[in-house]
């Protein structure tokens, strides 16, 4: 599925092929999708934001049209963030705003810590910091986010089970974490997700993403627990999502950021899909607030 008005391109800026779409004109904005989606997630959001910004929507490594490296270590958020930094540099953007949902939010968080000069503004959507989710792990969180631990099991166990009926598994994920219905999702976007997640390499890549979270990402976060995001940060979250039910989402970020705003969006975890107009409006407000006086 193409994002209306955007060009589809491919690059290999850091040794890993990245498929991306680009459109609009103005200050650069990087949009990062989550699990189990692709850049098609932004199809009804990116064109709105492209009225005022140059918008870049890549597929994360392991997802969609991007490369799927073989090793778990290749899927740490730090490695995935390097792809995006390299892509933006190749496009001529040394400094940019970034908004990410789900896994994309976790990828966006890492360069805001590691390379603060590159990230001008950060928006994370419907996530709690990785270390906060996992330590200490409460049974209610484990029950809601069971997929973290299933997908992280050694290969080929989850890949084999998922591969027998990818649509059943991934659609169950879309319908969890906040009570969405399948008809709440755009049919063309669903077709794009299905085409991607039926690929065995993509299934393996997504599993490796979650394997890396329990090993590399947890360790990375534990190494700098007091580090704070220096740039202005906006936290958006689903009002009926699993994270809002189990956490005070803005409070989990307050100690991680120096300048934070937060807003709830109607819906569950997948509010960018089910409420694209409200999501675009909230991201636009985040960008407007970021403009210097």
Beta-carbon count within 10 A of 157 CB: 12
- Helices within the chain (DSSP H only): 46-49, 77-90, 103-114, 130-134, 139-144, 147-151, 157-163, 166-174, 187-197, 200-212, 218-223, 242-246, 249-254, 271-274, 276-290
Helices (H), 16-96: 46-49, 77-90
User: What DSSP state is assigned to residue 239?
Assistant: T
29 φ/ψ angles, rounded to the nearest 5 degrees: -135, 125
- 269 catalytic, yes or no? yes
Fill in the DSSP letter of residue 53. S
Answer for the pair 180, 174: CB distance below 8 angstroms, yes or no. Answer: yes
Catalytic residue among 102, 220, 221, 273: 102
- Catalytic choice (67, 93, 269, 273): 269
Told to judge if 53 belongs to the known catalytic residues of this protein, a careful annotator would answer no
Count the alpha carbons within 13 Å of 214 in the hemisphere toward its beta carbon: 15
Cα 244 to chain centroid, rounded: 17
Distances (CA, A) of 243 to 42, 176, 199, 238, 269: 22, 12, 29, 8, 8
Measure Cα distances from 47 to 115, 191, 235, 267, 286 in Å.
Answer: 28, 20, 21, 22, 16
| Residues annotated catalytic, as ranges | 102, 269
């Amino acid at each position: 599925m193409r994002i209306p008005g955007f060009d589809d391109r491919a690059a290999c800026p850091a040794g890993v092929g990245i498929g991306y779409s680009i459109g609009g004109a103005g200050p650069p904005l990087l949009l990062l999708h989550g699990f189990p989606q692709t850049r098609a997630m932004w199809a009804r959001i990116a064109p709105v934001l492209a009225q005022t910004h140059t918008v870049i929507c890549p597929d994360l490594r392991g997802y969609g049209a991007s490369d799927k490296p073989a090793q778990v270590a290749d899927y740490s958020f730090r490695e995935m963030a390097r792809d995006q930094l390299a892509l933006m540099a190749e496009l001529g953007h040394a400094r940019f705003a970034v908004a990410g949902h789900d896994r994309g939010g976790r990828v966006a968080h890492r360069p805001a810590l590691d390379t603060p000069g590159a990230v001008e503004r950060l928006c994370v959507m419907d996530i709690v910091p990785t270390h906060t989710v996992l330590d200490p792990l409460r049974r209610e969180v484990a029950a809601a986010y069971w997929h973290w631990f299933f997908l992280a099991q050694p290969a080929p166990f989850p890949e084999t089970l998922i591969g027998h009926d990818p649509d059943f598994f991934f659609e169950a994920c879309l319908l969890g974490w906040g009570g969405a219905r399948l008809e709440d999702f755009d049919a063309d976007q669903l077709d794009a997700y299905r085409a991607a997640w039926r690929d065995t390499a993509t299934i393996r890549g997504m599993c490796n993403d979650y394997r890396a979270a329990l090993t590399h990402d947890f360790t990375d976060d534990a190494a700098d627990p007091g580090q704070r995001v220096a740039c202005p940060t906006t936290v958006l979250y689903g009002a009926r999502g699993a994270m809002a039910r189990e956490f005070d989402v803005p409070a989990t970020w307050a100690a991680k950021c120096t300048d934070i705003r937060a807003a709830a969006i109607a819906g569950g975890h997948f509010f960018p899909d089910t409420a694209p107009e409200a999501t675009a409006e909230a991201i636009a407000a985040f960008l407007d607030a970021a403009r210097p006086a």
